[in-house]
Amino acid sequence: MKISRLVYVCIAAFAIYACSDGEDGAMGPQGEQGIQGEPGEDGNANVRSYLFEDQEIIQGYQSFSVPGITQDILDHGVVFGYFKNVTVPVDTWLTMPYNNSTNILNISRIALGEAVLFSTFDTTVNLRFVVVEGEEGLSSEGMTVKEELKKAGVDFSDFYEVADYYGLEY
């Protein structure tokens, strides 16, 4: 029994020694170029979406940090705001400004790196800001972002249409 343990210990020690890191060898030859992959899906580097989940909204003004709101966005782009009230069973994104005759929720001010909301009621919401770059206020076809969306048949007050158009996740 003691001999078999000794044999196992010797085998283990040899295995550890045999697998030890030795000197690095010379670099091997360059492998062949692989085949070209399929083209990826078109992206949209000029559109960003910022999601804020389970935000306690209180009456008055509240500021949200949106790093994608740059000076270029302020000068030439557009920011769309949407919310989903998590305290009611309706699972849909509503656009801001929102006014149902008793409650108001809107984007009061857009500034460098932030969006300031104004609310007349207390609630819990998921917020989403969609930041779209523009080129001196114009899209590639010489239209504003909103004109481009309208021409494409996209209702910018409908988050789902905007998300589909720009390839954003819900």
Contact 4, 126 (CB under 8 A): no
What pLDDT is attached to residue 110?
97
CA separation for the pair 125, 84 (Å, rounded): 5
CA separation for the pair 138, 128 (Å, rounded): 23
CA separation for the pair 68, 106 (Å, rounded): 19
What pLDDT is attached to residue 147?
87
CB atoms under 10 Å from CB of 51, counted, come to: 11
- Cα dihedral 158/164/169/170 (nearest 10): 30
Local confidence pLDDT in tens for the 170 residues of the chain: 566 666 666 566 555 665 556 677 787 787 787 677 676 555 566 899 999 999 999 999 999 999 999 999 998 899 999 999 998 887 899 999 999 989 999 999 999 999 999 999 999 999 999 999 987 645 455 578 888 899 999 999 999 999 999 999 98
CA separation for the pair 12, 15 (Å, rounded): 5
